[in-house]
Amino acid sequence: MLVRELMTPNPVTVRPDTPVPDALRLMRERKVRRLPVVDSHGRLVGIVSDKDLLYASPSPATTLAVWEIPDILGKLKIEKVMTHDVVTVSEKTPLEEAARLMADKKIGGLPVMQGPDLVGIITETDLFKNLLELLGGRRSGVRLAVAVPAVKGELSKITTAIFEAGGNIVGIGMKGILGSHGDTAEIVLKVQDVDRDKLVEAVRPVVSDILDVREVDQAT
């Protein structure tokens, strides 16, 4: 899956000379937490988040008079509080690479570029929604977590066993390497069309351990 499949196209933007109160109002109206900043030619020159704007506001402990605060904020421009060195991705960037960038850089959103042009934005919320889909988080079924040897072919054994039991895998994920020697992997699956007991009976011979099994009804 690529970034272009999950990004929000044509994101809301502001200019460097946009007053901070106007940007805050725009965030509230459009229900967004970050705004790419573009110049008069539409070129990306920065990004500003709700936290940037919050930190730009006077502290409650300020010695300013109440009537002075709106006037000061009204004169403060986005270019003074925005991030100038923007981390971006292209629309063809694999989704996992965008997720890695966000995690490593500790940022919550990435402007998406097509050459020199801003074409979208992808955020941590988009990634969470995709994680839900990958793990079958919105589907009913049996959620099964198993430990298997970290060697080739183990996933194939599990999926074959589930298929032969009549199950349909609607979500799957893998969690790192477990064990003191790093020799075991955890696989999590969401399976439909087979009951819990039959599923456990089918996979038990081909896994090292069944870590968790539960029925999930997303209708409730």
Task: Using DSSP, state whether 63 is helix, strand or coil.
Answer: coil
What's the pLDDT score for residue 63?
A: 41
17-26 per-position pLDDT tens digit:
999 989 989 9
Please check the confidence at residue 193 and state whether its pLDDT lies above 90: yes
**Dihedral angle at the C-alpha atoms of 69, 32, 35, 83, nearest 10 degrees?**
70
pTM score above 0.85 = no
Give the containing element (helix H, strand E) for 112: strand 109-114
What's the pLDDT score for residue 181?
A: 63
Which residue ranges form the domains of the chain, and what is each CATH number?
3-131 (3.10.580.10), 135-216 (3.30.70.260)
161-175 per-position pLDDT tens digit:
999 999 999 999 988
Average pLDDT over residues 80-106: 96
Please check the confidence at residue 62 and state whether its pLDDT lies above 50: no
The secondary structure of residue 140, as a DSSP letter, is: -
* Average pLDDT, rounded, for the chain: 89
